[in-house]
Structures are given as structure tokens and as C-alpha cells.
Amino acid sequence: MNKKQRVQFILDTLENLYPKTPIPLDHTDAYTLLISVLLSAQCTDIRVNQITPKLFSLAKTPEDMLKLSIEEIREIIKPCGLSPAKSKGIWGLSKMIMDLHGGSVPQSFEALEAMPSVGHKTASVVMSQAFGIPAFPVDTHIHRLAYRWKLSAAHTVIETERDLKRLFNPEIWNKIHLQIIFFGREYCKARGHNTGNCPICSVIGSREKKK
């Protein structure tokens, strides 16, 4: 199977398994999505969804978030881990949104990535899932699967993003990145991966040895 055939098989399999791609993080708008994505760093989506209702009941806008102290934010989000840095980031980005963007989350990579605790992956998620702008957020699941599926041999997520953008059409980026994440969590996990039981690796092969 050449790369073009592998790509088509992967597309067909993902579309069959995940025709709908609900956003895993509970949110109501671009701001609450931004906060949720920030909190998801080194934390599961399930845990984030358990924590954000309390936080958003107190502050679901940047204006309201600034009424809380960094310490108050930290106490609420502590179960998500990395709370000292995340609480400072949440307060700091909320202030930037109020001071520089009229209270609304900006719709540009440059503006988003200029905010504290907002990296390229977080900005990509907000751009794609909140604003519908084509982006290809690459997390550890996607980075791992792109290597296993012989779509990229890159060592960094930025390089993997570049490779995947060349293989897939922009109009499906926002959907397929979620499909790959769902697939990785269900069938192609980091540990205990069985090539023979994986709907994709069992057909196209894997860079890993069969177990």
C-alpha cells in the first residue's frame, strides 16, 4: 500500500467509525473553550469537564475572571494539575482580552499565541473548533499515530503538523484531527497497543513491532 492508498484507507476508516466529531471539552463560546483547552494540558478532558462548571459558574467571561484572584482560580483548578502556571495564564490572558481585544477572543493565531499559557496547539484548537478556521492541532495522540501510520517521521509536533497538512485537504482538517484523537484513545493507545487488533494498523502496518 503506497502513501496515497494509506491516506485514503485512513480517511475511510475514520469516517466510518466517527462520522460525527463532538468537541470533547464542554464549553459555551470561544472564551470558555480557550480556558478549557488551556486546562487540558497534561490533564484528561474528563477531569477538565469536571472542574470547569465550578469555575465558569463564577466567571465565564474575561471580565468576570478578572474579579477573581489568581489564588482563587488556582484553588478551583488544582485537580487539573500545573495550577500555579495555569491560574496565572488564565488571569493574564483574560486581562489581555479585555485590554487589547474589547473583551472578545481574537480570531488570529498571532494574537492568541501572544497570550500567556497559549501555545500553537491551543491556538489551533480555538481557531478550528470555535471559529471554524482550518487548522490542524497536533497533540500527543496525533503525533504518535502519524508516526505509526507512516504519515510522518517527524520528531516534533510542529513538524508532524506540517506533514499532515500536506497530506490532507484543508476543508477536513478541523474534523480529521478530532477523528484521529478519538481513534487513538479507543484503538491505538500509547501503551498496550496490539497491531493485530487495530482497525488501521492491522491493514496498513505500523512502525512498531507486532505484539
Q: Distance between CA atoms of 177 and 65, rounded to whole angstroms? A: 30
Q: Please answer whether residues 135 and 124 qualify as being in contact, where contact means their C-beta atoms are separated by less than 8 angstroms.
A: yes
Residue of 26, 45, 139, 163 with catalytic role: 139
Rounded distance, CA 27 to CA 33, Å? 5
Reply yes or no on whether 121 is catalytic.
yes
Contact 188, 198 (CB under 8 A): yes
DSSP for residue 150? T
* Residues 102, 115, 110, 170, CA torsion sign: negative
Q: Which residues are catalytic?
A: 121, 139
